[in-house]
Chains A and B, each alone.
Chain A
Amino acid sequence: MTESTYRIQGATGEWEVVIGLEVHAQITTESKLFSGAATAFGAEPNTQVSLIDAAMPGMLPVPNMECIRQAVRTGMAIEAQINKWSRFDRKNYFYADLPQGYQISQLYHPLVGEGQIEVILDEKDPNSPRKTIGVERIHVEQDAGKLMHDQHPTMSYVDLNRSGVALMEIVSRPDMRSPAEAGAYLSKLRTILRYVGSCDGNMDQGSMRADVNVSVRRPGEELGTRTETKNVNSVRFVMQAIEHEANRQVDVLEAGGKIVQETRLFDPDSGSTRSMRSKENAHDYRYFPDPDLLPLELDDAFLEECRASLPELPGAKLKRYEEELGLSAYNAAVLTAEAETARWFEELLSEGAKAQKKSEADVAKASANWLMSELFGALNRIGRHLDDSPVTPAQGAELLALVADGTISGTIAKQVFEIMLETGDAAGKIVEEKGLKQTSDTGAIEAVISKILADNGDKVEQYKGGKEALFGFFVGQTMKAMQGKANPQIVNELLKKALA
């Protein structure tokens, strides 16, 4: 564990920043936490609302076990304590986006207890400091609806589509000491959630948002009073919010003021935070166990299924890529940063090993290099993502196999790939139709070489006179005459023989 040395230089000296994050992650499920209503994003207002979500009289919540399962799997992915006995509580407050007048949450007995996440502050740097951030708990709770203030001059409209959607609240320990650490934690958490499949991590759609707790203190001294900045919805904004809020607190303290414990809002346009509600005006939520729900008791079979269904997680995967596939730390980090990238890469490996009748380790380096340089470059150019790549892993593997077995050269492979991107055709078909096959026909190559040497008698003389650099010229001429399809190794051998 490496301690961060991030400090704010105040007029009166150095200040240390202490950060904790409460991340709300929408659980990926077809239906809501306590009702059968759908959860798809972007539906017409109030089209995904059950009688329960609208809190009609006499309606009752029934837990959706798929939501519980996903939260348990998430807990397992961060090596957290899974509580086999947990309970739902009601958090009572009045607001127009909260039809029941309470949110069903878990205060006293959360589903998931202590866990941890290891973050690498700079993934491109193999020697980057690593740090373990503690996770205090994960509990599940209902989301609220949404108010729309721009539909009517004097009224606000309510959209209850989101009302009752399942959230995980993932509460970190106040273990982060810099905006960069908080950013790395949030990114890593997002990666884990996407690997596990418990949250899509789409921060721009609100599927993941963070409440940022910030305080400042003199290094080594007691914790300062914290503020909570609500609903920050990107990694960059979280880092900005921390930076702004920490500096604001330093300014207040250095001017002799006191930090007020309060809830603040982040304004993405100015990158600053502003006060929303002070502690004196804080709600008394009157939490108590929800009497409509029995305690949640999980049996071993359920937990076993959750564990068995966990995918290989990013940390383990990165290690395996380095140790078993022999990839560089950087390549392994890039390929494991997103579940989708790793999935694509592993399919490419598996298809490649099949096509070349080799082990996955044997094809790993070439596959990684091609994916990271050729494919990523091309996707970037045409503005697409891996999940809608015009070239499939099987097609990529076929292309790489053609290079590996000498059917085409690396140069020709680049041309073939361009055609694949445009047409979606298979590499073999393109090579066949365009006649791009590399030739190893020594007779044909020898015929070309004799002609070139005959046409360039002067240069042959110079070469034989000691100007060996001219060898490259003869190779180039030969390849040109053969339209790039000659096997370069054979060209080399035959040229050397002919010039001897």
Chain B
Amino acid sequence: MTNLTDLTVAEIRDGVAGGDFSAREVASAFNVAVADARALNAYIVETPDHALAAADQADADRASGTLKPLSGVPLGMKDLFATQGVQTSAASKMLEGFKPEYESTVSGKLWDAGAGMLGKLNLDQFAMGSSNESSYFGSVISPWKGADGAQLTPGGSSGGSSAALAARLCPGATGTDTGGSIRQPAAYTGTAGIKPTYGRCSRWGVVAFASSLDQPGAMARTVKDNAILLEAMAGFDAKDATSLDLPVPNWEAALSGDLKGKKVGIPKEYRPDGLNTEIAALWDKGVAWLKDAGAEVVEVSLPHTKYALATYYIIAPAEASSNLARYDGVRYGLRNLPDGAGLQDMYAATRAEGFGDEVKRRILIGTYVLSAGFYDAYYTQAGKVRTLIQQDFMKAFEQCDVLLTPTAPSAAFPLGGNNADPLEMYLNDVFTVPASLAGLPAMSVPGGLSADGLPLGLQIIGRPLDEQGVLNAALALEERAGFTARAEKWW
């Protein structure tokens, strides 16, 4: 019998349903794996009892013939989702020890679907970062190692999710994506992740970073698992005013890697001078695979791509500077009240202590761009450019059904490698940010390995609401890439 922790979400679901093994056996195996992998620092909180309770329920449901879509599947929950009674920290000192009395809509839907929780996954603090190094609880260490044995980033901000998937510490996980926080970590770890159309998954109960960009999504090791998880996570929520009031398609059932009659666009602006040759080569392979799957490949233009990163780093910090104002030491979370201090002193001391450098950097940038005298030059202008970027995509989608691009400009980099210059770090988001600004569904799937033996990802971007098109193109890539590499266990 195979190792239970190597199974996919679909295999676990079907195996539990078919009686091949019990849900308790699965949960127990993962609980052991999680406890054994603390060196990776993927989980901030382990919740073995939650996983076991859900497993026992699944086993009982099987006996009574009332299995649910995710019965027996234990998941990792990014620690940005509020989980009732379980610490929800956003990887910050500010919210260390904060246990919400409420459950986020997305996590609640997963539990209602029968899933259990293995623990709360580490992330960049308040989901701000591309390397998972900004977590107050320490960096997540990728199970993959550099050729020289260097410790690598699992990507960010959903780095706990990607590392846990790659190390088989969960079969599926939640992520959130604001500028690439699902797709880039997936690419760095040889896993797959989808950010659906903005509004597909409720943001209610997800600690906010940048409201107009934040979108929960699924992460797993296969495209099919992503479809399964996303189906359970998505759906209209009256508690989120930006939620889409649309039925959730049956994505899993409609999965097909046959792309006959489909057109795939290759945006020429995504191939800048100096693009990493390995990335360029992988992209070419991706083009060939999609052709092989029956698709017609066309070149398209997204002329405003070069402004996307600047636009993102105005809008996201602006919203963040306001969203994070609630962490003031008054009602919950950290309070630092120096002796004899007044209200302003308490704010300053609390926020100085509770936020890490990257969070402070973005609050400062955001406060600056919204300030009187700068607002029009930055925020208003960024809003206009955002509209142009959205229009670029809409024009491109007149010529094609999906876009194929690399997910990230390089393979995973060593921990500490990009810390000297925040701008270098921001460049990691160059291929993922445009789809976020346009609210489009986008997915990363593993495409192959670099010369150093590190995973590289390919990104599919789709029309609004066309998650199916994205999943199907990703499936066609997955079927042809035959990615089976995994990190050697060293932890």
Contact = CB atoms under 8 A, between A and B. Distances in A.
Interface of A: 51, 54-63, 90, 92, 94-96, 99-102, 156, 158, 284, 286-288, 290-294
B242 A292 contact: yes
A96 B343 contact: yes
A58 B325 contact: no
A51 B325 CA distance: 16
9 contacts: A57-B100, A58-B100, A58-B207, A62-B241, A92-B370, A101-B324, A286-B367, A287-B375, A294-B242
B372 interface: yes
A468 B459 CA distance: 115
A51 B102 contact: yes
A51 B331 CA distance: 11
A229 to B, nearest CB: 24
Given A94-B347, A102-B325, A288-B322, A58 B104 contact: yes
Contact of A62 (B90, B211, B238): B238
Contact of A291 (B211, B324, B372): B211
B489 interface: no
A55 B211 CA distance: 15
B210 to A, nearest CB: 7
| Residue from B88, B90, B330 having most chain A Cβ neighbours under 10 A | B330
A55 B238 CA distance: 18
B241 A293 contact: yes
By Cβ-Cβ distance, the 9 closest A-B pairs, closest first, are: A101-B325, A286-B370, A291-B211, A291-B212, A55-B326, A58-B205, A57-B207, A292-B211, A284-B372
| Residue from A55, A56, A57, A286 having most chain B Cβ neighbours under 10 A | A57
B379 to A, nearest CB: 6
Contacts of A58: 81-82, 100, 104, 203-208
B55 to A, nearest CB: 27
Nearest to B326: A55
Contacts of B325: 92, 94, 100-102
A60 B203 contact: yes
Nearest to B324: A101
Given A92-B370, A284-B371, A291-B212, A57 B326 contact: yes
Contact of B326 (A61, A100, A290): A100
A416 to B, nearest CB: 58
B240 interface: yes
> Interface residues of A: mostly helix, strand, loop or mixed?
loop
Interface residues of B, number: 44
Contacts of B207: 57-58
A288 B318 contact: yes
Contact of A56 (B90, B100, B212, B322): B100
Contacts of A294: 241-242
A286 B206 CA distance: 24
B88 A288 contact: no
A286 B322 contact: yes
A158 B322 contact: no
Given A58-B203, A60-B239, A294-B241, 6 more contacts: A57-B326, A58-B204, A60-B241, A94-B347, A96-B328, A102-B325
Interface string B340-379: 0001100100000000000000000001001110010001
Nearest to A102: B322
Contacts of A158: 330-331
A195 B207 CA distance: 43
B331 A99 contact: yes
Contacts of A57: 82, 88, 90, 95, 98, 100, 207-208, 326, 332
Given A54-B331, A57-B90, A286-B371, A292 B326 contact: no
Nearest to A61: B241
B330 A292 contact: no
A101 B82 contact: no
Interface in B74-121: 81-82, 88, 90, 95, 98, 100-102, 104
A94 B95 CA distance: 19
A52 B22 CA distance: 41
A6 B221 CA distance: 80
Contacts of A290: 211
